[in-house]
Amino acid sequence: MATGLATGVWFVPEPGTPATANTSAIRHFSLCHRGGGENCVVDGDTIWIGGEKVRLADIDTPETHPPRCAQEAALGDQATRRLQELLNAGPVTLADADRPTDRYGRRLAIVTRDGQSLGDTLIAEGLARPWEGRRRPWCS
């Protein structure tokens, strides 16, 4: 188990372990292509990490696959790229959400850096809204 932090080092609880149990691995996130990947960003609220698909449990972002209007497409692209920037900016922690998975089988987690949710950052920047148990439209 690592005892220090360095840019690019992630501290991620392994599935099935308490959120306080951390392991380390060096990660760099690219944008995902169809079918997912090892460490990449699918959209503003979904990532692949270590081959596992993870949904950020505290937010909802505009759809990009497929968007329902031009406004949703543009905002969804911004949210996706911003999440990639945030993930590549330094170490983060994944903490399990109230439920282990969503209806699509994705792991649900809150992603934080220094106690601050990356989801909250996206909300503050107008790129996401708090998750309220269901999606709401992004198109006017």
Q: Just list the catalytic residues.
A: 55, 63, 106
Residue 62 burial (C-beta neighbours within 10 Å; 0-12, 13-18, 19+): buried
Q: In the chain, which ranges are continuous DSSP H helix?
A: 70-88, 118-124
Secondary structure of residue 50 in the 3-state scheme = coil
Q: List strand residue ranges (DSSP E) for the chain, in order.
A: 9-12, 23-26, 30-31, 40-43, 46-49, 52-56, 59-60, 93-101, 107-113, 116-117, 129-130
Give the tokens for residue 133: 């148990």
Given a contact cutoff of 8 angstroms between Cβ atoms, the answer to whether 136 and 60 are in contact is yes
